[in-house]
Amino acid sequence: MESEMKIIELSRKTPNFAKIIDEIVRMEKKIFPKHESLASSFNEELKKNNSGLLCCLAKDGDVAAYVMYSWPSSLSASITKLAVKEKYRRHGYGEALLKAAIEKCRGRNIQRVTLHVDPLRTAALNLYKKIGFQIDSLIEGYYSSDRNAYRMYLEFDTNWLYGTSQA
């Protein structure tokens, strides 16, 4: 499936930028509960100098997935959102996009990437573990009073390659 996808880094100069952002906002509203959605503040998020947005286009040009990430310091980065349209799940889009975002962070010499995930989102949790993320802690009430999150991290060393170290 990877040969049928195209990963692009979005900026205001990207062709069809407004159309792609509109589609991402629709995805955001559909996938995430209102209190977790960045749909209303998407443009503000994109204006930040220390953040990035990658999207994955399917063969037909449809926005299949997107990932937002930021680097609040010179040593660490955070995956703030990863979303894949339901019809594209389990086809490698999320994994390819996550790896691309991690590579962008590595290019900035980041040493650690963190993220938060609902422990009940098994597919997402398994993807993060597959890439090499480890559970740091459980944060009770992170999403809402009755929804927790795992804080996960990926620590880099000089031999890091998607969850496997090569000696």
Instruction: Indicate the range of 32-36, 48-52, 92-96, 143-147 predicted with least confidence.
Output: 32-36
pLDDT category at 167 given cuts 50, 70, 90 is: very low
Domains of the chain: 2-165 (3.40.630.30)
Taking residues 60-76, report their average pLDDT. Answer: 89
Q: Given a cut of 50, is residue 164 above it in pLDDT?
A: no
Q: Given a cut of 70, is residue 1 above it in pLDDT?
A: no
Taking residues 44-72, report their average pLDDT. Answer: 87
Within 8 A by CB and 6+ apart from 127, the residues are: 94, 95, 98
Q: What integer pLDDT is reported at residue 165 of this predicted model?
A: 40
- Residue scoring higher pLDDT (48 or 159): 48
**Radius of gyration of the chain from Cα atoms?**
15
Separation of alpha carbons 73 and 114, rounded Å: 12
The share of the chain scoring above pLDDT 70, in percent, equals 86
Task: Of 33, 38, 27, give the one whose Cα is nearest residue 63.
Answer: 27
99-129 pLDDT, tens digit each: 999 999 888 888 899 999 999 999 999 999 9
Q: Given a cut of 80, is residue 39 above it in pLDDT?
A: no
Phi, psi values for residue 65, rounded to 5°: -165, 165
Separation of alpha carbons 14 and 8, rounded Å: 9
Q: Which amino acid is at 71?
A: W
Separation of alpha carbons 82 and 3, rounded Å: 20
